[in-house]
Amino acid sequence: MSTVTANTIRDILARECPDSRVASVRPLDKGYTSKQWVADTDEGRLLVKVPQRTPDPGHLRRLMASAKVAADHGIPVVRYRRLVEHEPSVDGPLLIQEYEEGDAAGEVWDSLGRDRRMALVEDLGDVIGRLHAIGGPHFGDVLGGAAASSLKESVEAEVEALLPGAELALIGDADALRSAIGAAVAGLEDSANVPALVHGDLWLPNFLVRDGRISCVLDFEHATYGDRFRDFGKLDEHLFDAFREGRPAFLAAYDAACPMPGDWERRVDLGQVLHALNMHVYFRRWTPQWAPQYAEQAGKWLASRS
């Protein structure tokens, strides 16, 4: 990857997008999981992304498919041009998409006053509610792989996949955790156990803002069909734990776009422990110093069920 230059990207674009005349290419120092370049062309700007952490073309196919489902239902998302499943010059897959203008919500948040923050969280509630109003044919992969017929089956499979990567000494007994999560699922209203398009990575850096409004939802890399309230785990952690006064306005806008069932708080609680488990396992692999805090969250959740 260190040998990839602007000329490398220019050559790739000439081959993959021959109708676009490239004027310039520059690296973009943004994103946590990919290397990126911006190309100015006669058809507008293009963004070239080379994944670093998950160089699996199947992962990118799911990303594109999830974004297309969202776009087909009116959610503002990125438009993709090409997926190159293996590009020799970068030794892996490569994605070409249209460049979306706007500021990352995470970059502008600290500069906003209270009123503008409240307007933004209301906008978030509407956009996320409309996203979650998109139903799915099953629980699981948007492309149909690893599909589950019920929420119970889906959650059980997820927990079993996570446990081998978890440091259970920091969380608690595996069987106790299985039992507690199973009981949480069993306590939900069955009529509301319906699959919805779940983004899987909802926090401010994954929204673009233009003129104070949400203009684009980014990075559907972790999207799936699942219980919609599991998306609240990351959103609460990174936004509403620090801006509690904005949560009622967010929830009101969300409910107007996608009415909430009576047991929504229990669903959020389940979503938060699953979020903690996922983040614990993820950071054990990539950034181990952050993993213990999520183990502690999962452990506290488990202890509260004893």
Q: Is the dihedral of CA 142, 215, 131, 187 positive or negative?
A: positive
What kind and span of H or E run contains 166? none
What b-and-e string marks burial along 170-201, b requiring 16 or more CB atoms within 10 Å of the CB? ebbeeeebeebbeebbeebeeebbebbbbbbb
Strand partners, 225: 140, 197
* AA letter at 131: L
252-274 average pLDDT score? 98
pLDDT at 38 over 90: yes
Torsion of CA 69, 73, 77, 83, to 10 degrees: 30
Which pLDDT does position 210 carry in this prediction? 95
248-267 average pLDDT score? 98
Phi-psi region at 213: left, alpha or beta (left = phi > 0; alpha = psi -120 to 50)? beta
Which pLDDT does position 31 carry in this prediction? 66
* Residue 226 burial (CB count, 10 A): 23
89-116 average pLDDT score? 95
Strand partners, 196: 135, 226
Phi-psi region at 204: left, alpha or beta (left = phi > 0; alpha = psi -120 to 50)? alpha
Rounded to whole angstroms, the Cα distance separating 268 from 272 reads 6
* Strand pairing category for 207-210 and 103-104: antiparallel
214-235 average pLDDT score? 96
Token digits of residue 261: 């069932």
| Per-residue pLDDT reduced to its tens digit, 123-132 | 999 999 999 9
Are the C-beta atoms of 178 and 159 separated by less than 8 Å? yes
Domains observed in the chain: 6-98 (3.30.200.20), 103-303 (3.90.1200.10)
Token digits of residue 27: 């690296």
Mean pLDDT of the chain: 95
Rounded to whole angstroms, the Cα distance separating 151 from 190 reads 9
Three-state SS at 113? coil
At residue 199, what are phi and psi to the nearest 5 degrees? -70, -45
Which pLDDT does position 30 carry in this prediction? 74
pTM: 0.93
Which pLDDT does position 99 carry in this prediction? 96
